[in-house]
């Protein structure tokens, strides 16, 4: 198995976003999906949005060791977004923010079973579930639990977190600087054409959550948990 990483930098007037994209290649790779996490720098503070799966820990730490991490902001509780969180806390002393509704997933990743309603989703469901049942997440303390439209000033960011349930119960989006929104897995871009969450706990909530993203006032760069970014005006869902 070969592990790969790229780092893409987005400069904004308020700060810097670094997308750390990791993926694996080889015959023994069960899940070929890339993982993204994002290191945000604002006013000398560094906040990591999601932490990737443990397979990519060393690759992620190569970047984090340059700056340290003051806080972690999680979009949801699936292992490919939070499996390195306890290690980040231990290494850098970071505080952790996430939704209380996803904290139970730390003890059992399968508490919220997947459903799918598209051909692509059904094809991916079998692979994803087989991987999910094998995974565990090392426990970590949550220092800050989100509420809807909560400002993120407590962790040093000029932005808000807003509820986008459906993929998981506690899934959130993070709207930063009125220019960038981090959507976790409520939207995905695995093939270059963005789609709604391929897998979900409650499909009835997906459309409403996507609507909340699409109706954010003004243009945004959409940053996915999986896949490359696009402009909000280029989403055709």
Residue environment code for 136-158, b if the CB has 16+ CB neighbours within 10 A, otherwise e: ebeebebebebeeebebeebbbe
Partner residues linked to 181 by β-bridges: 175, 222
State the pLDDT at residue 27: 62
What is the mean pLDDT for each group of 10 consecutive residues in the chain (237 residues)? 96 98 80 87 98 97 98 97 98 98 95 91 87 93 98 97 98 98 96 92 94 97 97 87
State the pLDDT at residue 29: 64
Using DSSP's 3-state secondary structure scheme, residue 194 falls into: coil
Using DSSP's 3-state secondary structure scheme, residue 72 falls into: strand
Rounded to the nearest 5 percent, the helix, strand and coil shares of the chain are: 25, 30, 40
Q: What is the pLDDT of residues 217-233, one digit of tens each?
A: 999 999 999 999 999 99
Quick one: which H or E segment has residue 15?
strand 15-25
| Domains recognised in the chain with CATH numbers | 2-226 (3.60.15.10)
Predicted structure pTM score: 0.96
Quick one: which H or E segment has residue 132?
helix 119-132
């Amino acid at each position: 198995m070969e592990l790969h990483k790229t780092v893409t930098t987005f400069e904004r007037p308020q700060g810097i976003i670094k997308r750390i994209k990791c993926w694996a290649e080889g015959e023994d790779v069960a899940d070929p999906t890339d993982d993204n996490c994002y290191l945000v720098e604002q006013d000398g503070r560094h906040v990591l949005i999601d932490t990737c799966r443990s397979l990519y820990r060393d690759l992620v730490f190569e970047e984090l060791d340059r700056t340290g991490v003051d806080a972690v902001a999680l979009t949801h509780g699936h292992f490919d977004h939070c499996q390195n969180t306890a290690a980040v806390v231990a290494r850098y002393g970071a505080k952790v923010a996430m939704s209380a509704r996803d904290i139970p997933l730390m003890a059992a990743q399968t508490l919220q079973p997947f459903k799918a309603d598209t051909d692509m989703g059904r094809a991916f469901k079998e692979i994803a579930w087989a991987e999910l049942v094998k995974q565990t997440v090392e426990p970590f303390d949550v220092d800050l639990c989100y509420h809807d439209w909560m400002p993120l000033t407590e962790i040093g960011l000029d932005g808000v977190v807003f509820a986008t349930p459906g993929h998981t119960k506690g899934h959130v989006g993070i709207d930063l600087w009125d220019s960038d929104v981090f959507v976790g897995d409520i939207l995905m871009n695995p093939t270059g054409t963005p789609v709604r969450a391929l897998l979900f706990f409650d499909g009835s909530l997906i459309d409403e959550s996507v609507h909340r993203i699409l109706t954010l006032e003004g243009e945004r760069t959409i940053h996915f948990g999986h896949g490359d970014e696009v402009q909000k005006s280029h989403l055709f869902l």
